[in-house]
Amino acid sequence: MKFKSAHLVFTSLFLLCLSLIATAQQNDLVSKLPVNLREKGQAILSEVDEKKRTALVDELARQEAANDFCLALLSSDSAAPVRRAILNRLGNRTAPAIQQALQRHAASDPDVENALLALNKLRLQRMNEIRQSLKQRLELAKQTGNEAEWKKLAQEQERWISLVNGTMLPAFMRVPPPVFTLKPKGKTVRVVTLGDFGYGDDANKQIAGEPQKQVAAAMLKTHRKGTFDFGLTLGDNFYPTGMFSPSDPRWKTLWSDLYDPLKLKFYVSYGNHDWGSPDSPISELLFAQQSKSWTLPAPYYSYICGPLQFFALDTNEVSELQLQWLRESLANSTARWKIVYGHHPVYSAGQHGDSNDLKARLLPVLKGRADIYLAGHDHDLQHLKTEGGVHFFINGGGGAKIRDITPKDDRSLFAKSSYGFATLEVTTEKIVVKFIGTDLSELYQYTITKSKDQNLADTQSSGSK
């Protein structure tokens, strides 16, 4: 009896010591975080459910201030999905410690998907370093005014876009077709717009694609009340890494089953997730050849409908040739209204914030030429203040997980963390932009008017929440 009692005491003390060591290790991990993030770090360490822990890690890893904590967790967490979430987020950053971690996991992570992810992140980082030299040489040709040199370098940049991203989209398939024309159904052109939608069942089991289905159903009901002429997408058409082929079975569940009932053509743009796997960009291009609803003639292109001209962009890589094409297309357009759309916003009060690159390179092309710039990327609905005659709208509530939004500055006119879509009702005199929720409620409306002798919008605008 005495022996058993002593054994129990020893066991209890041993377990207590292990608990104290584990607590000390956890405290050491949490101490790597700034004070304002430590509660989130503690929640990760305390969470035993693997899926929930992965979601928490994915959210925290968005913060660069969490790098050290995430790197330590990467070495200690046995769950492959947790490590994958960390590799995916940190792999976009170039700190030496992160590059070393990527090398270790590319060579020795026991999960092959994690090893391949780390390998691809390393490839992107190293090729991006080389690509910077090409950008610098392009800038030199621009400054010296050597047009022949600039054109040759710009064409090389187009090839590098696919090369750097490891995609199978050749440069000649990036060439936009001539402007084409759609016939409007009436005097008012009605367009439905959708962004960040292709979530589906396999992207996040916690929501199982229901929001995407709800948004699609609301679009169909709205369409039946007042027919749309056509639709357009604002990218991130399919999560998490786009489509794997034109015959991928997810085309049926994530596109045809949901949007074919509208019997509309959708004019598509790429998002960053659509460039997520090597075969995705070309798969989305080729699917257009067999679909009545999916239209994607090139990564960037333009078309006219009534008083409108649309310019679809590939903002994942705004090459010099694409910028030159947009500049010339806007200058040559005689359309009453000019609407440019792409995945990444110039300005945003959402989690991604403003794009410094688009502010520096795309915005000067838009100002004084375009009336509206439509984007997605942030999973919310936004309207931001006009600049240079351009109205900025963000429509990223199509089905991907909604994110909290807190407007950071006075540029925000409307911001709502909500699922939904946007509609445009266009005549020669005005454009009415509406955000519609899954319950068909009108979340926001804004009207842009233009007098007969005006070329630019923004004289009489009214908004209502």
Domains of the chain (ranges plus CATH)?
2-90 (no CATH), 176-464 (3.60.21.10)
Q: What is the largest CA-CA distance in the chain?
A: 102
Amino acid at 121: K
Q: Report the pLDDT value the prediction gives residue 14, as an integer from 0 to 100.
A: 39
Q: Contact at 8 Å (CB) between 237 and 196?
A: no
Q: Report the pLDDT value the prediction gives residue 395, as an integer from 0 to 100.
A: 98
pLDDT over 50 at 175, yes or no: yes
pLDDT in tens, 14-36: 344 334 334 445 567 888 899 99
Q: Contact at 8 Å (CB) between 170 and 217?
A: no
Amino acid at 389: G
What confidence category does residue 311 fall into, taking pLDDT thresholds of 50, 70 and 90? very high
Q: Report the pLDDT value the prediction gives residue 463, as an integer from 0 to 100.
A: 46
Q: What is the dihedral sign for C-alpha 174, 179, 183, 185?
A: positive
Q: Report the pLDDT value the prediction gives residue 128, as an integer from 0 to 100.
A: 81
Cα-based distances in Å from 321 to 152, 161, 176, 317, 327: 10, 12, 11, 11, 10
Least confident of 159-168, 198-207, 355-364: 198-207
pLDDT in tens, 85-133: 999 999 989 899 999 999 999 999 999 999 999 998 898 888 888 888 8
Distance in angstroms (rounded) separating the CA atoms of residues 128 and 195: 27
pLDDT in tens, 425-449: 999 999 999 999 999 999 999 999 9
Q: Report the pLDDT value the prediction gives residue 5, as an integer from 0 to 100.
A: 61
pLDDT in tens, 446-464: 999 987 766 544 433 444 4
Distance in angstroms (rounded) separating the CA atoms of residues 44 and 77: 11
Q: Report the pLDDT value the prediction gives residue 266, as an integer from 0 to 100.
A: 98
Cis omega (within 30 of 0) for bond into 240? yes
Least confident of 34-48, 145-159, 383-397: 145-159
Task: Say how many C-beta atoms besides its own lie within 10 A of residue 4's C-beta.
Answer: 8
In degrees and rounded to multiples of 5, residue 64 shows phi and psi of -65, -25
Q: Contact at 8 Å (CB) between 426 and 306?
A: yes
Q: Report the pLDDT value the prediction gives residue 343, as an integer from 0 to 100.
A: 98
Q: Report the pLDDT value the prediction gives residue 134, as an integer from 0 to 100.
A: 87
In degrees and rounded to multiples of 5, residue 259 shows phi and psi of -115, -20
Q: Report the pLDDT value the prediction gives residue 345, as an integer from 0 to 100.
A: 98
pLDDT in tens, 157-168: 888 877 766 677
Q: Report the pLDDT value the prediction gives residue 131, as an integer from 0 to 100.
A: 81
Distance in angstroms (rounded) separating the CA atoms of residues 436 and 445: 9
Helices (H), 31-111: 38-46, 50-60, 67-76, 80-90, 96-108
Question: CB neighbours of 428 closer than 8 A, spacing ≥ 6?
Answer: 307, 336, 450
pLDDT in tens, 390-415: 999 999 999 999 988 876 678 899 99
Q: Report the pLDDT value the prediction gives residue 82, as an integer from 0 to 100.
A: 94
Distance in angstroms (rounded) separating the CA atoms of residues 332 and 412: 31
pLDDT in tens, 251-293: 999 999 999 999 999 999 999 999 988 899 999 999 999 999 9
Q: Report the pLDDT value the prediction gives residue 168, as an integer from 0 to 100.
A: 72
pTM equals 0.80
Q: Report the pLDDT value the prediction gives residue 24, as an integer from 0 to 100.
A: 46
Q: In terms of residues, how long is the chain?
A: 465
Distance in angstroms (rounded) separating the CA atoms of residues 446 and 463: 4
Beta bridge partners of 415: 382
